């Protein structure tokens, strides 16, 4: 198939582009490298030394003989995006190209506005481009389990059968997201559902849980193909962060009680889920929703698992409870369905000792690149402005930049 991977220079997108290319698909990456810019803005860097996209793609070609095309540009620019769709004529578009950090979206007004404009406008542009140029193309959109929040009832896969005052319907599952980022995904979901209904587009909205891991078979081929591994307080996700904390002897940063329960998955399952969605396209007019995670854990479960794995390599790790910088339930009911991708053939890689060992080894290997000042959270949901800039100013590599906000006509507060 001809598959465009929007956001293909990022964490999930890079692993996915290589995996699909290896499977024989014709792949094009679309990215504007804004994720790399956010690292500069925050004075942070990925634990792993990722190469520029052009180097990565040359290495892939040299090692496998396979070619991945690249289109560099911003998908909020309709002219750029429509040119890509017109030239590449994808049969499937996998859309990862969004600002994906909840803390980043909660820094201040400027970052909240930027996140929602970037994400909602990018997706709207894509819907219009597909309608105009490639209406039969299957849109595979990365949503998030966080769209649902943590309701006191079971979470279904996208839709729920409701009986109300004697009448029945199947309706979108209620959404109670926990950040302006997660809200942007809800807005996307509504726009996609509407576009499928009115224009007959076909879409799969994958509500993905928290992804962990960095090594996939393809990435492991050569150091030049290494993927991102974020551990900083803004972009690092919890399991990756705890592994880095364990390696530098920092007490694990459990926010609040740690009873927050989330769906998790291995990055090797992320790429496989995308392949499954490509192989089983939605019908015209259909907007399917799959919950894309394989296991759920509380944050205290994760802390205990990392502590035990670290002990096996003689690292003594403490668990600390920090005041939760987020506004979220710290102890709650959680039972989210996730059978549709399994029914289509997903064989999950469950969180194993081998995976923890591999994550800890990556952290040990790149220990010299760990900046411990990036670990403690400084973005607080209750503040209208956060102090991340003070930290960024004190870091020699920091280049605080508001250029991406200027682009969409807002300024940073």
Q: CB-wise, 293 or 366, nearer to ligand NAD?
A: 293
CB 192 within 8 A of CB 138: no
Q: CB-wise, 315 or 407, nearer to ligand NAD?
A: 407
Q: CB-wise, 273 or 317, nearer to ligand NAD?
A: 273
Interaction between residue 103 and ligand NAD (CB under 6 A)? no
Q: Residue 327 to residues 65, 96, 318, 381, 384: CA-CA distances in angstroms?
A: 49, 26, 24, 6, 13
Q: CB-wise, 128 or 200, nearer to ligand NAD?
A: 128
Residue 194 CB partners (closer than 8 Å, separation 6+): none
Q: Sign (positive/negative) of CA torsion 146, 148, 150, 154?
A: negative
Choose one: 207-215, 219-227, 294-302, 338-346; the region binding ligand NAD (CB under 6 A).
207-215
What secondary structure letter does DSSP report for 313?
T
Q: Tell me which of 123, 185, 212, 388 is the catalytic residue.
A: 185
Beta bridge partners of 126: none
Distance from chain centroid for Cα 198: 28
Choose one: 5-13, 190-198, 310-318, 395-403; the region binding ligand NAD (CB under 6 A).
5-13
Element (H, E) at 72: strand 69-72
**Rounded to the nearest whole angstrom, what is the least distance from the CB of residue 36 to ligand USQ in the complex?**
17
CA atoms of 56 and 266, how far apart (whole Å): 22
**Rounded to the nearest whole angstrom, what is the least distance from the CB of residue 365 to ligand USQ in the complex?**
21
Interaction between residue 8 and ligand USQ (CB under 6 A)? no
Whether 168 is a known active-site residue: answer no
Q: Tell me which of 48, 144, 237, 253 is the catalytic residue.
A: 144
**Rounded to the nearest whole angstrom, what is the least distance from the CB of residue 55 to ligand USQ in the complex?**
26
**Rounded to the nearest whole angstrom, what is the least distance from the CB of residue 146 to ligand USQ in the complex?**
2
Interaction between residue 75 and ligand NAD (CB under 6 A)? yes
Q: CB-wise, 10 or 177, nearer to ligand NAD?
A: 10
Binding residue for ligand NAD (CB under 6 A) from 122, 158, 213, 236? Answer: 122
- Applying the rule CB under 6 A, the residues between 288 and 307 that interact with ligand USQ are 299
Residue 253 interface partner, choices ligand USQ, ligand NAD, none, CB cut-off 5-8 Å depending on type: ligand USQ
**Rounded to the nearest whole angstrom, what is the least distance from the CB of residue 336 to ligand USQ in the complex?**
9
> How many Cα neighbours within 13 Å face the side chain of 343?
8
Q: Residue 131 to residues 28, 118, 280: CA-CA distances in angstroms?
A: 20, 20, 20
CB 216 within 8 A of CB 19: yes
Choose one: 98-106, 109-117, 161-169, 194-202; the region binding ligand USQ (CB under 6 A).
98-106
Whether 86 is a known active-site residue: answer no
What phi and psi values does residue 187 have, to the nearest 5 degrees? -60, -40
Per-residue burial over 101-112, b = 16 or more CB atoms within 10 Å of its CB, e = otherwise: bbbbbbbbebbb
């Amino acid at each position: 198939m001809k598959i465009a991977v929007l956001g293909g220079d990022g964490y999930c997108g890079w692993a996915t582009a290589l995996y699909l290319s290896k499977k024989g698909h014709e792949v094009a990456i679309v990215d504007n490298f804004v994720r790399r810019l956010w690292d500069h803005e925050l004075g942070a860097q990925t634990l792993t030394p990722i190469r520029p996209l052009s180097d990565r793609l040359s290495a892939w070609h040299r090692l496998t003989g396979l070619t991945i095309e690249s289109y560099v540009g911003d998908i909020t620019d309709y002219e750029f995006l429509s040119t890509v769709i017109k030239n590449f004529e994808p049969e499937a578009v996998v859309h990862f190209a969004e600002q994906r950090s909840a803390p980043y979206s909660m820094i201040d007004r400027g970052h909240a506005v930027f996140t929602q404009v970037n994400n909602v406008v990018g997706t709207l542009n894509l819907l219009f481009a597909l309608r105009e140029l490639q209406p039969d193309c299957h849109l595979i959109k990365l949503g998030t389990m966080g769209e649902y929040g943590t309701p006191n009832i079971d979470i279904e896969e996208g839709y729920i059968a409701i009986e109300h005052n004697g009448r029945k319907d199947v309706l979108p599952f209620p959404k109670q997201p926990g950040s302006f980022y997660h809200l942007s995904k809800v807005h996307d979901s509504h726009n996609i559902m509407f576009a499928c209904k009115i224009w007959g587009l076909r879409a799969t909205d994958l509500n993905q849980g928290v992804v962990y891991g960095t090594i996939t078979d393809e990435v492991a081929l050569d150091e030049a193909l290494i993927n991102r591994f974020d551990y900083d307080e803004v972009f690092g996700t919890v399991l990756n962060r705890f592994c880095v904390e364990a390696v530098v002897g920092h007490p694990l940063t459990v926010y609040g009680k740690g009873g927050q329960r989330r769906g998790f998955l291995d990055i090797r399952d992320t790429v496989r889920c995308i392949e499954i969605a490509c192989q089983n396209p939605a019908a015209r007019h259909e907007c399917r929703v799959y919950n894309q995670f394989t296991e759920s854990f509380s944050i205290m479960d994760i802390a205990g698992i990392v502590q035990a794995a670290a002990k096996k390599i003689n690292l003594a790790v403490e668990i600390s409870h920090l005041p939760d910088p987020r506004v979220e339930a710290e102890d709650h009911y959680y039972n989210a369905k996730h059978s549709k991708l399994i029914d289509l053939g997903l064989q999950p890689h469950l969180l194993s000792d081998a995976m923890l060992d591999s994550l800890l080894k990556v952290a040990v290997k790149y220990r010299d690149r760990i900046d411990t000042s990036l670990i403690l959270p400084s973005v607080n949901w209750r503040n209208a402005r956060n102090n991340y800039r003070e930290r960024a100013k004190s870091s020699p590599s920091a280049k605080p930049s508001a250029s991406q906000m200027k682009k969409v006509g807002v300024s940073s507060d």
